[in-house]
Amino acid sequence: MANKVKYGLSNVYFAVATDDGTGKLTYATPVKWAGAVNLSLDAQGDTNPFYADNLQFFTSTANNGYSGDLESALIPEAFRTAVLGEANDATKGIQYELNDKPVVEFALLFQFEGDVNATRHALYRCTATRPSVSSATSDSGITPTTETVTITAMPRIDDHLIKGKADSTATAYASWFTEVQEPTIG
């Protein structure tokens, strides 16, 4: 039986990608992203209608992936160093960022709950922006301030794969967060 609804975000992981020089990506072991609050990604691409015989004769569409925000209690230190390029001064204990770090691509793995099955998702070629710096004065209680990164998920160069998903009936489900699951395309 298929889900009628989805809700909840859990089990967020990221896996740093390495390009072999031809556009083929391999992935490091996924790292847990604790504290994920909200994920909202919009489809990227457009439709291009072609008119003939006084009507819409043909429409082409472009699937350019997704773009949107991942909100978190805090951006994990492992993500800050591995993907955003922040570094640590071990002598003085200062974490810092530089403006000349190369873009690091990664896979983003996550799970949505459902009324029947939880569904696990993978975005295979992502980049992220740095989060803004913000906080606010506390008054009578503590209200946590979240951090947000903008995620862009684009097609892989070698096979054009963007996204995959599996529910609990899939054989890849159990190991979804231990390694990036690759579909057989063809």
Q: For 36-61, what is each residue's pLDDT tens digit?
A: 999 999 999 888 999 999 999 999 98
Tell me the percentage of the chain whose pLDDT exceeds 90. 61
At residue 141, φ and ψ (nearest 5 deg) are -145, 180
Q: Is the pLDDT of residue 114 over 80?
A: yes
| pLDDT at residue 140 in the model | 79
116-174 pLDDT per residue, tens: 788 999 999 999 999 888 777 777 788 888 999 999 999 999 999 999 999 888 899 99
Residue type, 169: T
Q: Which tokens go with 164?
A: 């995959």
The per-residue pLDDT for range 57-112, each reduced to its tens digit, is 999 988 899 999 999 999 999 999 999 988 888 888 787 777 778 889 999 999 99
The pLDDT assigned to 186 comes to: 66
For the chain, the domains span: 6-160
Looking at the predicted structure, is the pLDDT value of residue 1 above 70? no
Q: How much is the pLDDT for 84?
A: 93
Q: How far apart are CA 3 and CA 173, in angstroms?
A: 16
Beta-strand ranges (E) seen in the chain are 6-19, 25-27, 31-32, 36-43, 47-52, 55-61, 66-72, 87-89, 94-96, 106-114, 119-128, 147-153, 163-167
Q: Give residue for tokens 């604790």.
A: 34
8 Å CB contact between 64 and 154: yes
Q: What is the mean pLDDT of residues 9-24?
A: 95
pTM score:
0.88
| Proportion of the chain above pLDDT 70, given as a percent | 99
